[in-house]
C-alpha cells in the first residue's frame, strides 16, 4: 500500500527552532510541497532573510543564500539575472520586507524580476523580541510601543499586498493566511501558482501570508489564531490583488 502523505523531499529531518504555535512551520511546509510538486528542487535557490526565518536553510535541502536585513530581493535579483534558468525565491518577514527592505522589494517588483517572494506578516518583529513593525495594528502593544501603537506618531500599518498591486509592471500579488485549514489550502495553491509564474518566466510573484506570533503577542497559540482572524483579517483583506492577466 502506497503512502498517502509524507514529508516533502526537499525538507530535512531537522527540528525547527520556531516557537510553539508559530505558523512559519506551516508556510515552510507549503513552500516545500510546491517545490516538490513542481520538481524544481535541484534548480532552486532560496534567500534566507534576517529575522525568525534566518535559519530556514536548516529545514530545506536545496541551495540557499543568506541576505542581510531587507536585501533579499536585491540578492535574488543578482542571482536571477546571471542565472535566469534557476528558480529563485525569498522568504521574508514584515520587519525585513516592509521596513528596512521596502526599497528593495518595490524596485524588484517594478523591474518585474522573475522571482517569487513569500512574505510573512505577523504584525510584529519576532526575532528581535516583539518590537513594533510597520504592520503592527493601531493600539497593538509592542516592546517599543508599550502603550500600543500610536498612529499619530507612527502612521498606519502598511498593507504591502495593496501597495505592491499599484505597481504597473505585470506581477502576481496575493494575500493569504494560514489560520485555518481551508486558508492553508488556499495559501498552498497561491504559493504553487507563484512558483509556476516564475517557471513560465511570466512575472514577479508575491505571496503575503497572515501569520501568528503567540510569543511576542503574549497569547496562547489558540488565542493568537483567534486574534489574528478577528483583528488582522479585517484590515489585511485576503485574496488576489493582482495577476499578470490584469495587465
Partner 1 sequence: MAKVLMKGNEAIGEAAIRAGCLNYFAYPITPQSEVAEYLSKRLPEVGGVFLQGESEVAVGYMIFGASGAGERVMTTSSSPGISLMSEAISYIAAAQCPAVFVNIMRGGPGLGGILPSQGDYFQATKGGGHGDYHLLVLAPDGVQEAVEMTMQAFGLAEKYRNPVMVMGDGMIGQMMEPVEFPDDLKTEPTNKDDWATNGMSTRKSKKSNLVKSLFLDPAELNQHNLNLKAKYEQMKKEDVQYELYNTDGDYQVLIASYGTMSRVCRTAIDMLKAEGIEVAMFRPKTLFPFPEKQVHDAAVKDSCKCVISIEMSMGQMVEDVQRCVMGKKPVEFYGECGGEIPSPEKIIEIVKELIG
Site residues for partner 1 per CB under 8 A: 41-45, 47-48, 54-55, 57, 60-68, 71-72, 74-83, 86, 103-104, 107
Our CB check for partner 1 shows the closer of 68 and 156 to be 68
**Cβ closest to partner 1, residue 82 vs residue 152:** 82
Could you tell me the smallest distance in angstroms from the CB atom of residue 91 to partner 1? 14
* Cβ-contact 199, 38 below 8 angstroms: yes
The CB-of-218 to partner 1 minimum distance in angstroms stands at 25
Closest to partner 1 by CB, 76 or 183: 76
Nearer to partner 1, 41 or 186 (CB): 41
CB–CB of 62/45 below 8 Å?
yes
User: Which parts of the chain are beta strand (E)?
Assistant: 44-48, 63-66, 87-93, 116-121, 171-177, 204-210, 239-242
Burial of 148 (0-12, 13-18, 19+ CB in 10 A): middle
User: What is the closest distance, in whole angstroms, from the C-beta atom of residue 85 to partner 1 in the complex?
Assistant: 8
- Closest to 55 measured CA to CA, from 118, 100, 64, 190: 64
As measured in angstroms, the least distance from the Cβ of 97 to partner 1 is: 14
Amino acid at each position: 500500500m502506497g503512502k498517502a502523505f509524507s514529508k516533502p523531499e526537499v525538507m530535512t529531518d531537522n527540528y525547527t527552532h520556531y516557537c510553539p504555535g508559530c505558523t512559519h512551520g506551516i508556510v515552510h511546509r507549503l513552500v516545500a510541497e510546491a517545490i516538490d510538486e513542481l520538481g524544481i528542487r535541484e534548480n532552486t535557490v532560496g534567500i534566507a532573510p534576517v529575522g525568525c526565518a534566518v535559519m530556514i536553510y536548516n529545514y530545506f535541502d536545496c541551495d540557499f543564500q543568506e541576505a542581510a536585513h531587507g536585501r533579499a530581493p536585491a540578492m535574488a535579483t543578482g542571482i536571477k539575472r546571471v542565472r535566469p534558468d534557476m528558480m529563485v525565491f525569498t522568504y521574508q518577514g514584515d520587519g525585513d520586507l516592509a521596513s528596512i527592505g521596502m526599497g528593495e522589494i518595490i524596485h524588484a517588483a517594478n523591474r518585474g524580476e522573475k522571482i517569487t517572494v513569500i512574505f510573512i506578516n505577523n504584525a510584529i518583529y519576532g526575532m528581535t523580541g516583539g518590537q513594533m513593525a510597520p504592520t503592527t495594528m493601531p493600539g497593538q502593544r509592542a516592546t517599543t510601543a508599550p502603550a500600543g501603537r500610536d498612529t499619530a506618531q507612527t502612521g498606519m500599518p502598511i498593507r504591502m499586498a495593496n501597495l505592491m498591486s499599484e505597481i504597473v509592471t505585470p506581477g502576481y500579488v496575493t494575500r493569504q493566511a494560514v489560520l485555518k485549514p481551508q486558508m492553508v489550502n488556499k495559501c498552498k495553491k497561491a504559493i504553487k501558482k507563484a512558483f509556476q509564474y516564475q517557471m513560465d518566466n511570466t512575472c514577479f510573484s508575491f505571496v503575503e501570508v497572515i501569520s501568528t506570533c503567540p510569543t511576542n503577542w503574549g497569547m496562547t497559540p489558540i488565542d493568537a489564531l483567534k486574534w489574528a482572524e478577528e483583528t488582522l483579517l479585517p484590515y489585511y483583506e485576503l485574496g488576489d490583488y493582482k495577476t499578470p492577466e490584469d495587465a
